[in-house]
Amino acid sequence: MNIYLKNFLRFCIIVLLQVLILKRITLIWWTNPHTFPAFIPDVYPLFILLLPFEISVWALLLLGFTLGITIDTFMNTGGIHAFAMVLVAYLRTNVLNALMPRNLNEYVNQQPTIKTMGWMPFLVYSAFLIFIHHSVFYILEMWNVGNLNILLIKIAVSTITTMLFILIYILLFTRQNAAKL
């Protein structure tokens, strides 16, 4: 499949998934609802994570901004998602450069998955970027350092949850790619 079409479809699917389904799943800590905040798993940065290796930084930035603004539009959050997303898009190239043995330009027509990177590097790569994204997002969203405990718990738990969702997504869709290759 054409790589542009494929990524466009992925964009639509991830946005719809996030906006129509994941938005409704409000996870609440079941043991003690009073001290634990409710949160929504934000899986949509996955789109940026899965773009091809050799994509240039300015394209990444613009795509990240578009994705963030789209999510903001649906979630009514102004530009918070976009802010976090642009940051993630900017950091992506550096993280990948640090993790991959060769120069990124040498991976032609490949995208960061478990198949191309291996389990550990991919997990580190996605977990780091998701953590950055969630930290920035929740800090901006709460805009209040008074509840530092809640902020930290929120960041930690939503990062873990999002990573679970991302793993599920990767496991569901990797085999299809393998069959095509």
Partner 1 sequence: MRNLILFIRRFFNLILFLLLEILCIILIGNTNTVQGNDIVSSANTIAGIVYKKHSDVLYYFGLRNMNDSLLYENARLRNQLEKYKYTDLLKDSIVHLQIGNNDTSKIHTTKYYDFIYRTARVINNSTNATDNYITINRGSKDGISKNMAVISSTGIVGRVEHVSAHYASIFSVLSSKHKVSAKLKNGTNGFVIWDEKDPDILTMIDVPQQINVKQGDSIYTNFSQYYPPDILIGVVQKVEMIKKNALQQIYLKSSTDFHNLQYVYVIENTMASEKKQLEELNNKK
The residues that touch partner 1, with contacts defined as CB under 8 A, are: 16, 19-20, 57-58, 61-62, 65, 68-69, 72-80, 82-83, 86-87, 90, 140
103: left (phi over 0), alpha (psi -120 to 50) or beta: beta
**Residue 31 structure tokens:** 């043991």
Closest CB to partner 1 among 16 and 152?
A: 16
Q: How far is the CB of 9 from partner 1 (least distance, A)?
A: 16
Q: How far is the CB of 159 from partner 1 (least distance, A)?
A: 21
Closest CB to partner 1 among 40 and 140?
A: 140
Closest CB to partner 1 among 63 and 130?
A: 63
Angstrom CA distances, 101 to 45, 97, 116, stand at: 24, 8, 12
Closest CB to partner 1 among 30 and 143?
A: 143
Q: How far is the CB of 68 from partner 1 (least distance, A)?
A: 7
Q: How far is the CB of 126 from partner 1 (least distance, A)?
A: 21
